[in-house]
Amino acid sequence: MIQSQEELEEWYQKDDPWEYEDSFDDIKRRDILLAELPKRNYKNVLDIGCGHGFVTRELPGKKITGLDMSERAVAHANKEAKKNKNLSYVAGDLFKVHELFPEQKFDLIIITGVLYPQYIGNSKILVYHLIDQILEKGGILMSVHISDWYVSHFPYLQLEKLIYDYRSYTHIMEIYQK
């Protein structure tokens, strides 16, 4: 069963429930992501599953938006974001992205730790379709997930795929261009 909003909010009673800030592996995976990001002039960037903004706040681009299901996580992220005018956070459901951003297209979308059965059940193809509606033609999509629970593959050309150790798991990072 997919996790309920209540459960998620419970989890986000802590500011950094997964303890990213002090974890070597999380700093490493953020460094890898930033290093592997194709070099472009990004204008409109979206980070799906941004949590408290651990990766979001480091992303390049003119306008950066973090999206997370948890209102608590977004509230925490917003506290930090005040220092940075380009950065904003939105609480909302991945399945509503086409309604959350009806007039917008992004040229970079990052999706980290979201496409697991506990969050999306059996609906990966709808996720492809919804993200496709907000990704600009020629835009970049980066997907970062733990290999054991990740069964998705976006219908775009894959520019790069990286596999590296992450905590006691293996991370898969895929870079696509639409």
Q: Which whole-number Å values give the CA distances from 68 to 35, 93, 138, 155, 163, in the listed order?
A: 24, 7, 25, 23, 25
Closest separation in Å from C-beta 164 to another protein: 9
Which residue, 81 or 131, is less far from another protein as judged by CB?
131
**One-letter amino acid for residue 3 of the chain:** Q
Give the binding range for another protein (CB under 8 A) out of 17-25, 58-66, 101-109, 156-164. Answer: 156-164
Give the binding range for another protein (CB under 8 A) out of 18-26, 64-72, 84-92, 147-155. Answer: 147-155
Closest separation in Å from C-beta 166 to another protein: 13
124 binds another protein (CB under 8 A): yes
For residues 49 and 115, the answer to whether their CB atoms sit within 8 Å is no
158 binds another protein (CB under 8 A): yes
Closest separation in Å from C-beta 175 to another protein: 9
Closest separation in Å from C-beta 142 to another protein: 14
Chain contacts with another protein (rule: CB under 8 A): 1-2, 38, 95-96, 98, 120-126, 128-130, 147-148, 151-163, 170, 172, 177
